[in-house]
Amino acid sequence: MTRRTRGLTLIELVAAMAIFALVAVMGAQALSGMIRMRDELVSRSTRAADLERAVSLLRADLAAVVPMQFYPPGVAAPQLAVQQTGNGFAISVVGQPGLDLTEARPMQRVEYRLSRDGRLTRQVWPTLYPARAGMQSPEQLVLDEVSAVKLRSFWPLVGWQDGVRPPSSVVAVQPEATADSDRATGAPEVYSSLLPDAVEVALEVETLGRIPILETLR
């Protein structure tokens, strides 16, 4: 008499397949969760690096501000060393490198603009006395997903003020031009002492909130 080899019953086979399917689903869910976590960490790391680069660039520009007016090409009036614009701000700087990052440049005019799609860009005039329009550098993307750029300035005896235009009380105490030995008054100064003690640039960034950047100018 021979012994028969007992195989799996249908119920046992179905139970084994169900267990294997459950393990496979759990493994797939764990793997997809790890992939999502990795993508989220990479996204946050990239975003943090972009923000750090933007803040470092803003701080470097603000630290290089000089009290020199900017004379746009044409017949436009000169602009203050630190001036707020409708969609950003502009500053006169010295010693900042150009796009090639190889050497420090003489006095330049740096303009930050916020576009409607939330892109904060940076553009540079190579001199404070450009001879013609179109001498600016190409716009560089500084940071995206920016909803607003807000500026405040700190003035002696006044305190913090919205914007960067000097209050009338500060302008009133500026020394007037004096006559020289030939009884002639000096030429209008392009070297202006009307700089605030400090400037705060606040970026409203989506997913990150308000990012304040404070820099002293004196």
Q: Per-residue pLDDT tens for 102-142?
A: 555 688 999 999 999 999 999 999 999 998 888 889 999 99
Q: How far is CA 31 from CA 26, 34, 35, 43, 61, in A?
A: 9, 5, 6, 18, 45
Residue 99 located in a structural domain = yes
Q: Does residue 213 register a pLDDT over 70? A: yes
Residue 35 located in a structural domain = no
Confidence of residue 99 (pLDDT cuts 50, 70, 90): low
Buried-state track 19-51, b at ≥16 Cβ within 10 A, e below 16? eeeeeeeeeeeeeeeeeeeeeeeeeeeebeebb
Instruction: Provide the token pair at 45.
Output: 């790391």
- Our CA angle for 46, 49, 52, nearest 5°, is 150
Residue 203 located in a structural domain = yes
Residue 162 located in a structural domain = yes
Q: Residue 193's pLDDT is what?
A: 55
Domain count along the chain: 1
CA distance 11 to 89: 75
Question: If DSSP codes are grouped into helix, strand and coil, which group holds residue 67?
Answer: coil
Q: Residue 122's pLDDT is what?
A: 94
Question: Which residue type is seen at 87?
Answer: N
Q: How far apart are the first and last CA of the chain?
A: 107
* CA 207 from centre of chain: 15
Residue 108 located in a structural domain = yes
Residue 60 located in a structural domain = yes
Q: Which domain holds residue 210?
A: 53-175+193-216
Residue 19 located in a structural domain = no
CA distance 66 to 94: 7
pTM of the model: 0.72
Residue 185 located in a structural domain = no
